[in-house]
Amino acid sequence: MAVIQHPFPFDPTYGMGRNELLGIGSPEPPADEAAFWGPRFAAAAALDPAIEINEDAPTGSWRRFRVSFHSVGGVRIRGWLLVPRDGLPPERGFVIAHGYGGRTGPDTHLPLGRAALLFPCLRGLSLSRLPGVPTDPCGHVLHGIERRETYIHGGCVEDVWCSVTVLLQLYPGLAGRIGFMGISFGGGIGAMALAWENRVARAHLNVPSFGNHPVRLGCPTVGSGEAVRAYVARGLDPMPTLAYHDAATAARRIRIPVHCALAEFDPAVAPPGQFSIFNALSGPRELFLLQAGHYPYAGAVEEEQRLMGELERFFEKL
């Protein structure tokens, strides 16, 4: 890997090469992990989302809709839906989760033809803002962290499950042909959701966050993890909650094919946490190595083009 010049007071590779990264394990799950998450998934999957949908102006080859639906706890989730503009029914569906910067609109560049693409804004962020919930990553990541039952990330996981329900209510024929894509925040939340979700057949995680909290807390960053480190520095202990919200622990339960794009240099989502998630996956897995995540670098455009080609191939089997 080429040396990347940067202004940070820490090394965004954390002194780890590819072989070391591929050797990182994952934390042991809490003994009652299934008792905590299993009923939450069952309740979310059974929830009637009460979908509201209104068409916007078309964009490119897509018809564009504004969508809102109920999630767990009476939270109303809002976002966008894209479907083929030619009027033919979609042959597959995708839930696509955003990073911690939120979302201002749907992504129209993805190589996912003949598909219905749902772009939810997860609770507390962008279109799904909530009273009392900070919209900035460093505030959002701490909201409700005092108890595992109230932590905001658990609600975001439920939002992903309810998003799958929305696709299947709108297009029942897509059963068995649902995919998931998530980047950074959305990748970590997605891994936690996929651990219990049995309606998604393939997934892509791009520089996923929230992997291996014990390791993550030892890595200085410029991302939301630094807010958790500051929380610990105040003498508070988040691990009774975070042990249940660890994307690397969750990945042990994921058995569907997963494609991961992981960075060896990342100042916002420490690479050891990213690779912990990949290493823990229990099913077929593919790895696309990025030179960097959350940081500009020479060759990024070409690398993104190659990644899009890989995703087109990977999801052809959906």
pLDDT in tens, 240-273: 999 999 999 999 999 999 999 999 999 999 999 9
Whether 237 is in a domain gets the answer: yes
Domain count, the chain: 1
User: Torsion angle of alpha carbons 205, 89, 305, 266, nearest 10°?
Assistant: -20
Whether 6 is in a domain gets the answer: no
Whether 227 is in a domain gets the answer: yes
pLDDT in tens, 222-239: 999 999 999 999 999 999
Looking at residue 277, its amino acid is I
What is the per-residue pLDDT for 267? 98
Whether 5 is in a domain gets the answer: no
What is the per-residue pLDDT for 127? 98
Whether 131 is in a domain gets the answer: yes
Average pLDDT over residues 155-175: 98
Query: Which range, of 54-58, 158-162, 271-275, averages the lowest pLDDT?
Result: 54-58
Average pLDDT over residues 146-161: 98
Whether 8 is in a domain gets the answer: no
Whether 82 is in a domain gets the answer: yes
Asked if residue 205 has pLDDT above 80, the reply is yes
% of the chain with per-residue pLDDT over 70: 99
Quote the pTM value.
Answer: 0.98
What is the per-residue pLDDT for 14? 97
**C-alpha neighbours within 13 Å on the C-beta side of residue 88:** 8
Whether 13 is in a domain gets the answer: no
CA distances from 206 to 15, 27, 131, 180, 288 (A): 21, 21, 29, 11, 9
Asked if residue 307 has pLDDT above 70, the reply is yes
Which CATH number fits the domain that encloses residue 186? 3.40.50.1820
% of the chain with per-residue pLDDT over 90: 98
Asked if residue 29 has pLDDT above 80, the reply is yes
Provide the residue range defining the domain that includes 114.
18-315
What is the per-residue pLDDT for 36? 98
What is the per-residue pLDDT for 3? 79
What is the per-residue pLDDT for 258? 98
Asked if residue 279 has pLDDT above 90, the reply is yes
What is the per-residue pLDDT for 87? 87
Mean pLDDT of the chain: 97
Asked if residue 292 has pLDDT above 70, the reply is yes
Asked if residue 2 has pLDDT above 90, the reply is no
Which tokens sit at 85? 């503009």
What is the per-residue pLDDT for 1? 66
Asked if residue 312 has pLDDT above 80, the reply is yes
**How far is 117 from 172, CA to CA, in rounded Å?**
14
Q: Phi/psi class of residue 306: alpha, beta or left (left: φ > 0; alpha: ψ in -120 to 50)?
A: alpha
